[in-house]
Structure 1
């Protein structure tokens, strides 16, 4: 069987370790009818490559939930692979499971759970509220995560998902502009790039980006507006199955998905190999998980309609370019609303 995941140890190391154990015939996590040969794609492809196109080549794919809307015709819903009892027995962090439910069907099982949180070097504290973050930026080497789709995703998080609301949208863009002006690092990076800069000591903190348990940094709940829950946009990954060969591989696919979402694999193998589990039980553990659990549980699920990924890409470029050009928040929000009104 052929599988596709994303090119970061968090995305491929646990999967490839299972395959190695399968090929060695010594897998303590259970046998499967046949191993999966995993290919990798870069983070940018994971965030934007059409799932339906990938399903022409791959049997199992690690995907991002916003791409589901244009892909369901190419995928097998989980209800065709598992009984209601099997699905009901699975427990995942936050709204991870719900994010792959569309049009009355479950299209994926969560593999990895993530959302935007605050990150800092040890000894540095990211304040809990956005007004305090602005004050902290005046004396801290702060960076923003604005690469790829992340300018738009930060905007959505700061508005708590109400990004088409004029008051919330304008306030969010004003905040982002103020933070960008105060930032000591103005490089346009994705989360991995910002975290690498922090790990190297070039940046002290970032108030909002997708958390990676693999970095030796301090993670905490995302900043919030006073009186509100932390604003964040759900990330993570899910496992989908292509329709292309399902008649041949149904039992093997079932075995792989049940093993990958099992408690031993999620709670033992994933942490040991640099993965970031989706199992709810792991998110009760101290440190990274428990320190960001409130944000995970409050995270907003992105739209999943056909065409959303391209709209997300355009919206992010519009916001990022406008922030660097100094476009007034009201004008920038007007341009964004026009983009969302365009078919």
Structure 2
């Protein structure tokens, strides 16, 4: 069997370790009929490569939920693989399970849970509210995270998903412009991995909002909130989906999915190999990374999943990023963004 995941240790290390154990005839987490050979794709492909196209080649795919809308014809709903009581016993963090449910069916099982949070060098803690973020940004070494789709995703987090609301949208863009004026511009144009690398290397001290990675020994905390509101964030993470081409391997696929989402694998193997599990128990009782960001994960917004959303997200992010860099007035930039959504 062939599987596809993303090219970061968080995305491949636990899967590779299970494959190694299977090939060695060692099954501390339970046997499976045959190992999966896992290929990897870059983070950029993971965020944008059409799932339906990848499903032509792979049996099991590690996917991101926004791409589901254009892929359901190529995937097997979990209802065709499992009896109703089989996935029912699995407990996932936040809204991870819900993010892979579309049109009344479940299209993937959560594997990895993530959302945008704050990150800082060890010994420092990012501010807890957006007004405090703006205040500290004036005299500290900070960066935003605007690379790839992340300019638009920061905008969505600041508006708590209500980015078509004119008041919330203009306020978000005003704040982003203010923060960018004080931020390290070069670092701010990177993706989350690039920004986290920069914090770890001492180039900047903190970032108020980016996707957290447990693999970094940094000080993570809940995303900043507007006063009186819960932290705003956009759900990330990954799920395990099955392609139509794998239906002749149904029993093997079932075994792999149930093992990968089992408590022993999620609570022992994943943390030991640098994974970031989706199991609720880890986020409730794990180390400080999980405890200090769980509130944000539980409140995170689920992105749209209609066909064409991924391309729209990419265009919207470029529009926001380019507008901020060019100093476009927030009202005009918001109008341009709304027009992009109206004409799609």
- Shorter-chain TM-score bucket reads over 0.9
- Contact 1:143/1:194 (CA < 8 Å) preserved in 2? yes
Give TM-score, length-normalised by structure 2: 0.99
2:259 match: 259
Alignment of 1:17-96 (within 5 A): 17-96=17-96
CA distance in structure 1 between the aligned counterparts of 2:122 and 2:3, rounded to whole angstroms: 37
Alignment of 1:188-267 (within 5 A): 188-246=189-247, 248-267=248-267
Structure 2 residue matching 1:98: 3-state secondary structure: helix
Which residue does 1:324 correspond to in 2?
A: 325
Match in the other structure for 1:298: 299
Q: For 1:41 and 1:233, locate their aligned partners in 2 and report how far apart those are by CA, in whole Å.
A: 22
Aligned to 2:142: 142
Q: Deviations over 1:278-309 (max 9, x none)?
A: 00000012300010000000000000000000
Aligned residues of 2:246 and 2:253 also touching (Cα < 8 A): no
- Runs of 4+, deviation exceeding 3 Å: none
**2:67–2:310 contact (8 Å) kept in structure 1:** yes
Cα shift readout 1:212-249 (whole Å, capped 9, x = no counterpart): 00101010000000000000000000000000131x21
Structure 1 partner of 2:310: 309
Deviation at 1:65, TM superposition (A): 0.1
1:102-132 CA distance string (max 9 Å, x none): 0000000000000000000012221110000
Q: CA deviation at 1:321?
A: 0.1
Partner SS state of residue 198, structure 2: helix
Q: Give the equivalent residue in structure 2 for 1:111.
A: 111
Alignment partner, residue 97 of structure 1: 97
CA contact (8 A) 1:180 1:186 kept: no
Distance in 1 (CA, whole Å) between partners of 2:98 and 2:36 is 26
Aligned residues: 342
- Give the deviation of 1:185 after TM superposition: 4.0
Look up the match of 1:279.
Answer: 279
Question: Is contact 1:141-1:185 (8 Å) kept?
Answer: no
In the other structure, the counterpart of 2:4 is 4
Distance 1:277 1:164 in 2: 33
Whether contact under 8 Å (1:32, 1:255) holds in the other structure is: yes
The 2-side partners of 1:313 and 1:342 are apart by 15
- Give 3-state SS (helix, strand or coil) of 1:245's partner: helix
Output the CA distance in 1 between the equivalents of 2:246 and 2:306.
26
Structure 1 residue matching 2:337: 3-state secondary structure: helix
Unaligned stretches of 5+ residues in structure 1: none
Quick check: 1:143–1:203 contact (8 Å CA) kept in 2? yes
TM-score computed with the length of structure 1 as normaliser = 0.99
- 1:247-271 deviations in Å (ceiling 9; x for gaps): x210000000000000000000000
The whole-number CA distance in structure 2 between the counterparts of 1:184 and 1:340 is 30
Query: How many angstroms does 1:184 deviate by?
Result: 2.9
CA distance, structure 2, for counterparts of residue 102 and residue 75 of structure 1: 12
Matches of 1:245 and 1:122, distance apart in 2? 45
**Whole-Å Cα distance in 2 between the matches of residues 89 and 251 of structure 1?**
19
User: Could you tell me how far apart the structure 2 residues matched to 1:298 and 1:245 are?
Assistant: 35
After TM superposition, give the deviation of residue 139 of structure 1 in Å. 1.7
Q: Deviation of residue 27 (structure 1)? A: 2.0
